Chain A
Amino acid sequence: MSALFSPKSDALLKLVLGLLAGGAVATIGSLLLYQRTPYGVSQAEQIIQPVMFDHRHHVQDDLIDCRYCHTSVEKAASAGIPSTEACLACHAQVWNKSPLLDQVRASWFTGKAIPWTRVHKLPDFVYFNHAIHVNKGIGCADCHGRVDQMASIEQAQPLSMGWCLDCHNDPAPRLRPLDQITNMKWQPPANQAEVGPKLAKQYDVHARVSCTTCHR
């Protein structure tokens, strides 16, 4: 009677075990990797909005400051999505017959909100506050990118916890004077290594890293 298991079967068993173990490692590893890819964090995704609002035009051509529409950014957690009324403050006068603005006018006359698609989404257990960031020298473009060059808003940064902590652990290199907060074109000066810590002191920057700073 021949042996129940041939010598080959030993190798086969090793292969199967190896594949199982390797597969588990690979699965977990690739999931972790996936979460670190721009795709995994929804970065640089083209998003179609119900109204083709173009930040390039409003910021570059019209030189409108961010705070003109995002009114509560300096005093509240939410920067504020402009109301239909805010759009029509200008567009009742200019481009008031443009078909591109049909939906805005429809919103005004029906009283129904424009269903924008959210681009910058933090998980529900994260409590981000705009006011404290813009009042301590973090510019809009630091997190939102060059909005002035975006036809349609996309997520410029990963918005992952590691990315948040990079800055919270060492905010000085990114700090800018408070009058430059909304400046899209601001670049750190050559001597940022000297200016940064000075600004941190001047603005009393204490970037906190305790869990409850953001998770409550």
Chain B
Amino acid sequence: MPSLGLPIFGQSPVTPQPAQRWRSLAERDGTVDPAAGNYPDGEQPAPEGFSRRSFLQVLGASTALAGLSACKAPREQVVSYVKRPAGVTPSVASYYASAVSRGGYGVGVVVESHEGRPTKMEGNPAHPASLGGAGLHELGSILDLYDPNRLSGIRHHGQPVAWSAWLGELQVLAGTLAKDGGARLRVLAEPTSSPTQADLRARLLARFPRARVDSWGPVADDAGREGTRIAFGRPLDAEHRLVGADVILSLDADFLATEGDHLRHARDFASRRGQPTGMNRLYVAEGSFTVTGGAADHRLRMRASEVLGFGRAVAAALAANHGLARLAPLGAPLTGERSRQATAVAADLARVRGRGLVLAGRRQPAALHALASALNEALGNAGATVVYREPVLLDAASGPDRLATLAAEVKAGLVDTLVITAWNPVYTAPGDLDLAALLAKVPNVIYLASRHDETAQVAGVVVAAAHPLESWGDLRGRDGSASIVQPLLSPLVECVTELDLLAAFVDQGHLGAWRLVREAWKVRAGGASAGGTDVSDAGFDRAWSEWLSTGLVATPGAAPVKAALDGGRVATALQAVPPARPGLEAMFAPDDKLLDGRYADNAWLQELPHPVSKLTWDNAASLSPATAARLGVKTGSQVTLTLRGKSVTAAVLVQPGHADEAVTLPLGYGRAVAGPAGAGVGFNAYALRAAAAPWIDGGLELKATGKQHELAQTQEHFSMEGRSIALSYDAAKLGEAVHQLEELRGPQESLLPLVDYGKEEYRWGMAIDLSKCIGCGACTLACQAENNIPVVGKEQVLNSREMHWLRVDRYYEDVHAAGGKVTGEVETVSQPLACVHCELAPCEYVCPVNATVHSDEGLNEMVYNRCVGTRYCSNNCAYKVRRFNYLDYHQVVSPQLKMLQNPDVTVRSTGVMEKCSYCVHRIEHARIDARVGGQKIGGDAVVSACQQACPAEAIVFGNLNDQGSKVARMQQGERRYDLLHELGTRPRTAYLARLKNPNPELA
């Protein structure tokens, strides 16, 4: 087999260089006009298409080869290392700790690497922001590394330039800029907490004192820091400790999925769910339906602009009923039902002083964040469930204000050189800034990007950016703990990091990020040597490798600060909040999957069903059923949205549980310039965004165009035909439900011969706790990455042919008032479902070729090389968890993407059925490791990919025959039930019914 030309870890990269020879200047510059003069006079150009000669050639070759086809395939080559890299054993995966940036904050990850190919990103159990869980973006971003559409090298107005040559040019430019102190130099950076970048910026500003570095984050948490500035006089980062919180009030904060340290929050929140006693209680006041709203005990549906009023009503109730008089100036009572809700919430919060928590969402005004701080302070929660720290981000603010200032300067012609390392500001800037036109006025725009996008189109110099897995760097978590970002492989394309680019302006571009980071930390370790870090070379080397291997720098993080709250300022700020603009409300929101749009080219994330709407390959303007009925639109109706004079065309999605008279506009879609996965998907909500009101705006006009847009929602696929599957009870009523649950578990009579798996050494099983599951979808993505699951595209999703082995079903439930009347509110229960590995599996009886059989340990095995694709198994599967390869999805991926595949799992071809294998390759690995050492596999030693990723620890896998294992104990619990128990399939995956902890006063 010919070499695929893939880079091999440890070998010097042999990047094919474009030929350096050229026949004319036009050829060198790539401007040959093929139409003109390529043929001498009288000559006819060669016929296009398939010529007679090539037809005969192919015919002859295929006839000759036809005789050979019976013979064997040619022997393949096997390539050894020239010099084996230290620590690499072929066929054994290695794991490296690193960190990735989420909104500038570091999240610790552990990356799995096979012979130098990173194949999967997991959470780092030692890192405080992850605790081992992984979110959609950690899991998905590894796909970006291998994107064949990544930019490579430096392009100067379209012409490739070598880094070293360009560094020379840059030096000249920097010299010129330095003459007036860099007055005409601006840097627009990605929000970051990198200490090395802080050093670099300081050096940059020392050389260019009149230059300015701004950061731009279209979905940054600015309001939180501004809120603390109002409340405490200076911007602070709030760290929420949900473990100690008995009652949580979320004011539009999606803290379980998209905001703050959501992985840690999910872990902490879920740790207090499930047991009937000691459960926390979550109130969520929100407009859009979010993951956090779905996990709430009481979801208080209101427009985003009404949340502030609700927060003030809670403050008023606390002041009036619970003796917290100092909250009185902050409060403003409401009337009617909302007042009753606010009173009940206030009473609940007052009941658990010091053990409650109020959070405010990033799209709420800063005044509400200040109010939340004031509420926490008054209730004694500050210092217990919420602590404040000096912000670790280099810029406290990275919102539209900074961008607007920059835009004004550009407009005034004050900027000569603009270095952009923030992701795609031309696309993400609020529509009214019109950055694309402004950038054309700047003579030198230098843009660091990994893909060709809207900004790259207008930038003079585009520098290819390195993926985090190719970069050296450093980041801090919210608690100040630092991590070193280390590369897993040498760059696949010619690219540089943000640090390299900024260093070039202080004549250090040639050093490389490794030296920049290492030297900076060496200085820092020397500075902190009083703490005991040995800074002799050997001592620092030791510390450095320790930091790299654990993923955490062993220097103490920032200590919590004590700050005095100024109630007067909070009251003033609350009064200064302008009233909501009348009319239909536009609520902008970062997308759960694409965030601000930077993952638009990521096909995994595009195809992942949205946690709530189950929408794939699209975004849509969500509105409530009542509002949709009033406006006369349905799901899939195409509408024109007009806000402040700007219009976009979007599809409507009718979202149960959405606030009335409001529309959620998810950001991040509708890319004009993007790769094949991202271009033209959805609509661009940034175009409607105004710098003055980036999150909540009023006066939206919605007009149906009369056309339809097909939305690929997976929520109806593989449906369970109306049977009650996902069970949810009030914690207080679990006693009454126990008897119903008992009917849904335990042995069933069967005509079929039974195998006693109790005698086996291992009986693998899974338990999924619906009380803990928040429905975020990380398990689906982790499974996709682990098991080489292909992406099928929107058209195939519409055909119900998505390949995810593990889906998360989301069930809506109407909320009934005391009298049994439907209130119009909905609750959701999320239920992850993959093959449940029935002991009496219906699929097995119908397979004509024994391609799905049982192992001695009771796994329902799928033998791909036996499968002939009758799909009988799928028809007979009660749980609809089998997936069929209708097309050869793996044939179409580029060679580069093949490097991503997990070598421990077979890549399936067309016509083959597949399904969850319980990560059997992990079982077999654990078995071999244990048995080579002469031991048994521990009951909890095998961790399935979904379990590993789950931030909430809802999924537990293990050996049911080991009574001490976690899964065995969970399956013996009183909340356990079996899915479709009446069928007698004896599933190995058991579910634990969801428990809710509603407030009786609000029932």
B920 contacts partner chain A, Cβ-Cβ < 8 Å: yes
Residue pair B934, A204 in contact (C-beta under 8 Å) = yes
> Knowing A77-B91, A210-B861 touch, does A118 contact B906 (C-beta < 8 A)?
no
B69 contacts partner chain A, Cβ-Cβ < 8 Å: no
List chain B residues, Cβ under 8 A from A210: 855-857, 859, 861
Interface of chain A, main secondary structure: loop
Residue pair B75, A121 in contact (C-beta under 8 Å) = yes
> Knowing A116-B78, A132-B931 touch, does A212 contact B917 (C-beta < 8 A)?
yes
B347 contacts partner chain A, Cβ-Cβ < 8 Å: no
A85 contacts partner chain B, Cβ-Cβ < 8 Å: yes
User: B92-144: which have CB < 8 Å to A?
Assistant: 92
User: A81-131: which have CB < 8 Å to B?
Assistant: 81-86, 107-108, 111-119, 121, 123-125, 127, 129, 131
User: A140-176: which have CB < 8 Å to B?
Assistant: none
B12 contacts partner chain A, Cβ-Cβ < 8 Å: yes
CB-based nearest A residue for B921: A216
User: B624-652: which have CB < 8 Å to A?
Assistant: none
Selected from A81, A111, A119, A211, the residue in CB contact (under 8 A) with B12 is A111
Residues 193-216 of A, flagged 1 when their CB comes within 8 A of B and 0 if not, give: 000000000001010101111011
A76 contacts partner chain B, Cβ-Cβ < 8 Å: yes
Residue pair B89, A216 in contact (C-beta under 8 Å) = no
Residues 899-936 of B, flagged 1 when their CB comes within 8 A of A and 0 if not, give: 00000111100000000010011011000100110100
Alpha-carbon distance A124/B904, docked complex (angstroms):
10
B335 contacts partner chain A, Cβ-Cβ < 8 Å: no
Residue pair B865, A204 in contact (C-beta under 8 Å) = no
Alpha-carbon distance A78/B82, docked complex (angstroms):
17
> Knowing A210-B861, A212-B859, A212-B924 touch, does A84 contact B82 (C-beta < 8 A)?
yes
B38 contacts partner chain A, Cβ-Cβ < 8 Å: no
A15 contacts partner chain B, Cβ-Cβ < 8 Å: no
Selected from B83, B92, B861, B920, the residue in CB contact (under 8 A) with A83 is B83
Alpha-carbon distance A79/B864, docked complex (angstroms):
26
CB-based nearest A residue for B81: A83
Alpha-carbon distance A208/B83, docked complex (angstroms):
36
List chain B residues, Cβ under 8 A from A204: 931, 934
Selected from B78, B853, B934, the residue in CB contact (under 8 A) with A117 is B78
CB distance from B838 to the nearest CB of A (A): 16
B46 contacts partner chain A, Cβ-Cβ < 8 Å: no
List chain B residues, Cβ under 8 A from A216: 904-906, 917, 920-921, 924
B158 contacts partner chain A, Cβ-Cβ < 8 Å: no
B76 contacts partner chain A, Cβ-Cβ < 8 Å: yes
User: B4-41: which have CB < 8 Å to A?
Assistant: 8, 11-12
A58 contacts partner chain B, Cβ-Cβ < 8 Å: no
B52 contacts partner chain A, Cβ-Cβ < 8 Å: no
CB distance from B602 to the nearest CB of A (A): 26
Alpha-carbon distance A127/B917, docked complex (angstroms):
15
A72 contacts partner chain B, Cβ-Cβ < 8 Å: yes
List chain B residues, Cβ under 8 A from A212: 855, 859, 861, 917, 920, 923-924
CB-based nearest B residue for A108: B82
CB distance from B854 to the nearest CB of A (A): 8
Residue pair A131, B932 in contact (C-beta under 8 Å) = yes
Residue pair A113, B79 in contact (C-beta under 8 Å) = yes
Residue pair B90, A80 in contact (C-beta under 8 Å) = yes
Residue pair B906, A215 in contact (C-beta under 8 Å) = yes
A67 contacts partner chain B, Cβ-Cβ < 8 Å: no
Residue pair B11, A127 in contact (C-beta under 8 Å) = no
CB distance from B556 to the nearest CB of A (A): 38
Most B CB contacts (10 A, CB to CB) among A84, A119, A212 go to A212
List chain B residues, Cβ under 8 A from A127: 904, 921, 924
List chain A residues, Cβ under 8 A from B934: 204
Alpha-carbon distance A131/B929, docked complex (angstroms):
9
A57 contacts partner chain B, Cβ-Cβ < 8 Å: no
Selected from B11, B75, B84, B932, the residue in CB contact (under 8 A) with A132 is B932
Alpha-carbon distance A135/B930, docked complex (angstroms):
12
> Knowing A76-B90, A216-B917 touch, does A113 contact B80 (C-beta < 8 A)?
yes
> Knowing A127-B924, A211-B853, A215-B865 touch, does A76 contact B84 (C-beta < 8 A)?
no
CB distance from B942 to the nearest CB of A (A): 13
Residue pair B82, A81 in contact (C-beta under 8 Å) = no
Residue pair A75, B79 in contact (C-beta under 8 Å) = no
B72 contacts partner chain A, Cβ-Cβ < 8 Å: yes
List chain A residues, Cβ under 8 A from B12: 111
Residue pair A113, B857 in contact (C-beta under 8 Å) = no
B863 contacts partner chain A, Cβ-Cβ < 8 Å: yes
Residue pair A115, B77 in contact (C-beta under 8 Å) = yes
Residues 239-273 of B, flagged 1 when their CB comes within 8 A of A and 0 if not, give: 00000000000000000000000000000000000
CB-based nearest B residue for A111: B12
CB distance from B402 to the nearest CB of A (A): 48
Alpha-carbon distance A81/B857, docked complex (angstroms):
34
Residue pair A42, B855 in contact (C-beta under 8 Å) = no
User: A29-44: which have CB < 8 Å to B?
Assistant: 42
- 9 interchain residue pairs of minimum CB distance: A210-B855, A78-B91, A77-B91, A81-B80, A83-B81, A118-B78, A113-B79, A84-B82, A212-B920
Listed A/B pairs (27) with beta-carbon separation below 8 Å: A47-B75, A75-B89, A76-B90, A78-B89, A78-B90, A83-B80, A84-B83, A111-B12, A112-B82, A113-B8, A113-B80, A114-B79, A116-B80, A117-B75, A117-B77, A118-B77, A119-B75, A124-B907, A125-B864, A125-B906, A135-B931, A136-B931, A208-B856, A210-B859, A212-B855, A212-B917, A212-B923
A interface list, Cβ under 8 A from B: 42, 47, 72, 74-78, 80-86, 107-108, 111-119, 121, 123-125, 127, 129, 131-132, 135-136, 204, 206, 208, 210-213, 215-216
B interface list, Cβ under 8 A from A: 8, 11-12, 72, 75-84, 89-92, 853, 855-857, 859, 861, 863-865, 904-907, 917, 920-921, 923-924, 928, 931-932, 934
11 additional A-B pairs beyond A113-B79, A127-B924, beta carbons within 8 Å, are A75-B89, A80-B90, A81-B78, A85-B84, A112-B82, A116-B79, A127-B921, A131-B928, A132-B928, A210-B856, A212-B924
